[in-house]
Structure 1
Amino acid sequence: MTVLDPATIRLSVAPMMDWTDVHCREFHRLLAPGARLYTEMVHANAVIRGDRARLLARTAGQAPLALQLGGSEPALLAEATAIAAAHGFDEVNLNCGCPSDRVQAGRFGACLMREPALVADCVAAMAAAAPVPVTVKCRLGVDDDADYSVFRAFVDGVVGAGAAMVVVHARNAWLKGLSPKENRDVPPLRYDWAYRLKRERPALPVVLNGGIADLASVHAQLAHVDGVMLGRAAYHDPYLLHVADAALSGASLQPRAALLRALRPYAEARLEAGVALKHITRHVLGLYQGQPGGRMFRQILSEGAHRPGADWTLVERAIAATAQADRARTAA
């Protein structure tokens, strides 16, 4: 089993479909130099047969970076893991937590928690395929599962097969009756199961995901587990990611405008390559969440970034609007 550096798992950003693409990750890396980043989930078949230049897009500066795979066929997952390692990914994570109907129909995601032997076979094949750490992201259980020993047995199975870490979204996944969005809010959080797992398996790296939305929660959870994974909070309020990373590393906080301007070389290189500005700026809309001018910042970017010829001057105009709003507040 490949061992993960404990310092690199204290803070991470969850894999989020349609959100954590290559542009988002570039911004998140500027916000949080010490955080572990994850791709959107990609099915093993897509990695093997699809457009790898797009699906596996990454920059060297995004490391440590994990590819999250979906699938349930050991041979295909092993082949995709080998491809990921060859493309420079630092970790391959198996999705055992997504509850969507489409994922269930493909027999992967959260429904795999009902097939622990198959998941163990998948992890064993992946771990044998490449020297990168193989990890698993899972829920506490499926539907009305309420037996901690079943959850622990699932974890023991994947660790015995070679998983180097488990990321626990500390809720059940309801496969019927709740949408994927509702599955992120409605099932109650049970952090105590993750805490107990860590106490009973002290050598196992355990990362906690779910409902962590402020710095106090980050510190509170790190008293019990090895790492915290931020999801929607890091996306909708990106400055929280910066605050958390700085708090854990001891680095000084940087102004929002400086962090955003650090993205300019990347953005202009992508614009030169033909990427529309909207594909980049959609990931920064929450940077001024709760700040003077935050609404105007979002409005300027949302209304202008899709227009032909939109370039970095639009971003500077949005930044200027926040500075003007801040001056107005101070003067008042």
Structure 2
Amino acid sequence: MTTVMIEDVDPSSADRGVAAHYGDPMREQRVLETAVGLVDRSHRDVLAVPGEERAGWLHTLTTQHLSGLRAGQGSELLVLSPHGHIEQHAYVTEDGDTAWLDTEPGAGEGLLKHLESMRFLTRVEPRDAGPERVVLSLVGPGAADVVAGLGAPRIAEVPPPKFAAGSVLPEPTALYAVREFEGGLARRVPLGVDLLVPRADAEQIAARLGVPRAGLWAYEAIRVAHRIPRLGWETDHRTIPAEAGFLAGAVHLDKGCYRGQETVARVHNLGRPPRRLVLVHLDGVATDQPPVRGTPVSLDGRTVGFVGTAVRHHDLGMIALAVVKRNVADDARLLVGESAALIEP
């Protein structure tokens, strides 16, 4: 099996350290869409937060309702700036002794620094757990069958603007079932099942699962097609949760104070975020190369947004997630680099 690493094709990529593909990225995409494949995502940063006060402490620091998080549950969270801009995004997995946080490669250091600065007298001991644990992802409709006993992920509906106080349940808006298996933890997520396993045992566990390998290129293509945003790709320094698709899974709109809450509440009550996340189709006539992250999206000669992740999808062709101004119409004729582009409503 031919293994092509991310750094072989893009040495500067933040995703370096894992496989881009194993010789046939389009076939790997089809496996992830129709069956199940295993994706090495061991480049993600992992933090551990043990300590008896961890749930309530994370609840006060983040956008998610975590005060009642218990063993066998997982969710998502954001850390915001005082002005409500997204600074961090992480998945949380609770095993009864420790809350494990996994985040984007390179983001763990900043998240850990923030957590350490907010400890005060709280009985928690956040640490870098990258040397201990890594993330592997089972992706596809057959993922839950590989790790039995995990139901579908539950993501609550976003309440309408100016909803009645107390009408949102006091629990995580995204609730992902977690179970222990021989070798680690399995967390159900929208694209399949994420495995949090000891770094030293990762290859042995991957071989034992007995499912085909797929590279990160295939994973990213499926993620883009499902419009799932990624911190640092579909966000910039001024992105707020309502703009980039994080509101449903990572934000509880009716919980106690957290940094940036005023901006989140104000924008939601007005119902008019300045920008929105869209899926765009690129014509591929002028170039067959997907645009790089940050490529401007323009309309009638003026910039109206930027591209986050652009991919070649085995069925949809060249597509991308982009963040554009809210008033850009769905039928607008856009230009992304050299390519004409249309929004999929």
TM over 0.5: no
Higher relative contact order, structure no. (Cα contacts within 8 Å, ≥ 6 residues apart)? 2
More strand as a share of residues: 2
More helix as a share of residues: 1
TM-score computed with the length of structure 1 as normaliser: 0.29
TM-score computed with the length of structure 2 as normaliser: 0.28
